[in-house]
Structure 1
Amino acid sequence: MSTDTQMDIYEVLKYLPHRFPFLLVDRVLSCEPGKDIVAVKNVTINEPFFGGHFPHHPVMPGVLTIEAMAQAAIILAFKTRDSRPDDKSAYYFVGIDGARFKKPVTAGDQLILKASFIRNMRGLWKFSTAAEVDGQTVAEAELMCTVREL
């Protein structure tokens, strides 16, 4: 396994089954399998959720910030397993602990997504995650997921 791997959007697409409008990782700045990942989500005024959340004060829904952190964590899981998504299985959330939202995310922000591997026990993956804008934490949570056969 390689360490400190950068990934452009074309490489990201190989590791996430998500597509527009639900693909929330634009680039990976670094990834050390079994350890951590740093990724980017550029938040633009063109995001489909801004039209209704909220028209006069666009704010990225907190649940989508959590989803962006989860997508970064899943890339880390795939890189750690040295595998890619397939049509036979999928990762599912099984728990979100300690979710905190510290500042709204708005159009023009660049989310820096961080996920650190905590453990994988009996197919249950656990990560410590955070999202930052301009060096300030805007959200954090411990996320748990598992792989299920389809």
Structure 2
Amino acid sequence: MMHLNINQIKEIIPHRHPFLLIDYIEDYQPGTFAIGYKCVTYREEFFAGHFPKEPVMPGVLTVEALAQVGAVAILSVEENKGKTAYFGGINKCKFKGKIVPGDKVRLETRIIRQKGPVGIGEAVASVDGKTVVAAELTFMIG
């Protein structure tokens, strides 16, 4: 297993607080997959407005966290170091559950196709073994 702490993640992807949505990478293989985690706390800035009486992590931020994990896999390939992975599309996205304060979200993105600077990843976010978001993410390396 290849682990990455927050400082090592910041060496690979350009995201920074408050938009860096992964806390650590448990395992990854450059160009193939990455598995990361987001430890959700009540102090997350988005909970102030989403929703004050029932805090729920916005689904679009969960998709973004999955994309960031995928970016770790893609941008850790030697020829992609120093580049940025941009969203090209989101397909087959399903929201199957809520993410709330106290959840430890497992984020896994597997790169299933790549041709030149464009690729597709299968992404799944889960909490306690239950899928909360699944999507197919298209990326472009710039």
Quickly name the TM-score band, shorter chain normalised. over 0.9
Q: TM-score, normalised by structure 1?
A: 0.90
Q: CA RMSD in A?
A: 1.3
Does the 8 Å CA contact 2:26/2:35 hold for their aligned counterparts? yes
- In structure 1, the partner of 2:86 is 92
Instruction: State the Cα distance separating 1:83 from its structure 2 match.
Output: 4.1
Does the 8 Å CA contact 2:66/2:124 hold for their aligned counterparts? yes
What percent of counterpart residues are identical?
Answer: 37
- In structure 2, the partner of 1:11 is 8
- In structure 1, the partner of 2:102 is 108
For structure 1, which runs of at least 5 residues remain unmatched after alignment?
none
- In structure 2, the partner of 1:56 is 53
Distance 1:9 1:90 in 2: 18
- In structure 1, the partner of 2:24 is 27
Alignment partner of 1:17: what SS?
A: coil
Alignment partner of 2:77: what SS?
A: helix
Instruction: State the Cα distance separating 1:81 from its structure 2 match.
Output: 4.0
Alignment partner of 1:56: what SS?
A: coil
Spell out, residue by residue over 1:94-149, the C-alpha distance to the aligned partner (whole angstroms, 9 max, x if none).
1111000000100110110001111111311110000010011100101011123x
Alignment partner of 1:100: what SS?
A: strand
For structure 2, which runs of at least 5 residues remain unmatched after alignment?
none
Instruction: State the Cα distance separating 1:10 from its structure 2 match.
Output: 1.2
- Of 114, 125, 142, the match for 2:136: 142
- Shift of the 37–90 alpha-carbon distance from structure 1 to 2, 3 Å rule, reads closer
Distance 1:11 1:80 in 2: 14
Instruction: State the Cα distance separating 1:84 from its structure 2 match.
Output: 2.8
Distance 2:59 2:75 in 1: 25
Q: TM-score, normalised by structure 2?
A: 0.94
What amino acid is the match of 2:46? F
- In structure 1, the partner of 2:36 is 39
- Shift of the 8–82 alpha-carbon distance from structure 1 to 2, 3 Å rule, reads farther
Alignment partner of 1:76: what SS?
A: helix
The structure 1 segments of at least 4 consecutive aligned residues displaced by more than 4 Å after TM superposition are: none
